[in-house]
Structure 1
Amino acid sequence: MEHISTNQIVKIGVVVDNIEQAVKHYAELFQIEPPVIRIPKSDVPVQIPEDGAYTWYRGEYRNVRCKTAVIPLEPIYIELIEPFDEPSPWNEFKERHGQGVHYVAFHVEGFQEHIDLLENKGMGLIQKTEKGHERYAYFDTASKLGVTLEFKERGNQ
């Protein structure tokens, strides 16, 4: 593989300080119903690949948690993210930059091939998450591209 298999952005991830306020502002601005804010449980045990669903972040398997809300703006959507005060790519971004656009996401086919492509170009893997029905990965692309890239693949691969 020599290049990314798509050129269509499907999602923009925006880190915010206060997701409740951000949701309110986006809903008012776009005249939409305020979306549901998803808040993950805090007592979930760390999963590993053998469990079928897991998150690998900066060299270890761990839970990475954040509050999220989806703003549908067809054909893409904005994912608002309020990180918890614990290690995660979103908290890492917030500590360095404050609020702002953290990533742009693309649906890809050939998940591992895309990981290999970016790693071979010197843009290493930051986080990889498998959920069974989908998988996604963040890459260390900000210094070269000005933003983090996310690749997302749906279906059991």
Structure 2
Amino acid sequence: MDKNLLGNHVITQIGLVVRDIEQTSRAYADFFGIDKPDWFWTDAPEVAKTEYEGAPSAARAKLAFFDMGSLQLELIEPDEHQSTWREALEQNGEGFHHIAFVIEGMQQKIDLLAGNGHKLLQKGEYTGGRYAYIDTSAQLKLLVELLENDR
């Protein structure tokens, strides 16, 4: 196995899937004594160009972000379409979904990870960049999200 596959070892984000983003956002805000962030929908399919398991997907999700110092907490409430978010919620219930890293060279990283046995599950675009969820569960026991922001 290659080493330093991402070129970065700083965890940027922890993602959780939830059934009710409003209720869960309020609970986190109250727990930490901070303002509740507004949630928003991921971009529409024609902008997001989401692919799930290699096929186009109309999947969207409500997102809320808490900036927690050096780490961001992301809450994800998926819609009814099949996605890694929906699959995680149905199979495991609410809770942990992924850890994320900011990278450069998205396709190269996806190819490098695939060559090391880590399958691409879902990818898409967002205003200002792109993301990819990689299944590293066989070795790392979790999903890794790659985030590449436009310059």
TM-score by length of 1: 0.86
5 Å matches for 1:99-138?
99-131=94-126, 133-138=128-133
Amino acid at match of 2:131: Y
Summarize deviations over 1:88-124 as a string: whole Å, max 9, x none.
1101001111011100000011212210111011111
Partners of 1:144 and 1:25 in 2: CA distance:
33
Q: Secondary structure at the match of 1:9?
A: coil
Structure 1 window deviating more from structure 2 (2-11 vs 90-99): it is 2-11
Partners of 2:84 and 2:141 in 1: CA distance:
15
Please report how far the alpha carbon of residue 132 of structure 1 lies from its aligned counterpart in structure 2 after TM superposition: 5.8
Q: CA RMSD in A?
A: 1.9
- Structure 1 residue runs of 5 or longer lacking an equivalent are none
Amino acid at match of 1:75: S
Give the 4+ runs in structure 1 shifted more than 4 A. Answer: none
Please report how far the alpha carbon of residue 23 of structure 1 lies from its aligned counterpart in structure 2 after TM superposition: 0.7
Partners of 1:131 and 1:8 in 2: CA distance:
21
- Structure 2 residue runs of 5 or longer lacking an equivalent are none
1:150 aligns with 2:151: no
The answer to whether the 8 A contact 2:42-2:63 is kept is: no
Match of 2:65?
A: 70
Partners of 2:19 and 2:59 in 1: CA distance:
17
The answer to whether the 8 A contact 2:113-2:119 is kept is: yes
The 1:143–1:96 alpha-carbon spacing in structure 2 relative to 1, beyond 3 Å, is farther
Q: Secondary structure at the match of 2:37?
A: coil
Structure 1 window deviating more from structure 2 (13-22 vs 130-139): it is 130-139
Residues paired across the two proteins, number = 149
Please report how far the alpha carbon of residue 40 of structure 1 lies from its aligned counterpart in structure 2 after TM superposition: 5.1
Partners of 2:63 and 2:148 in 1: CA distance:
19
5 Å matches for 1:46-65?
46-47=45-46, 53-65=48-60
Match of 2:89?
A: 94
Match of 1:4?
A: 6
Partners of 2:95 and 2:135 in 1: CA distance:
17
Partners of 1:39 and 1:150 in 2: CA distance:
18
Match of 2:23?
A: 21
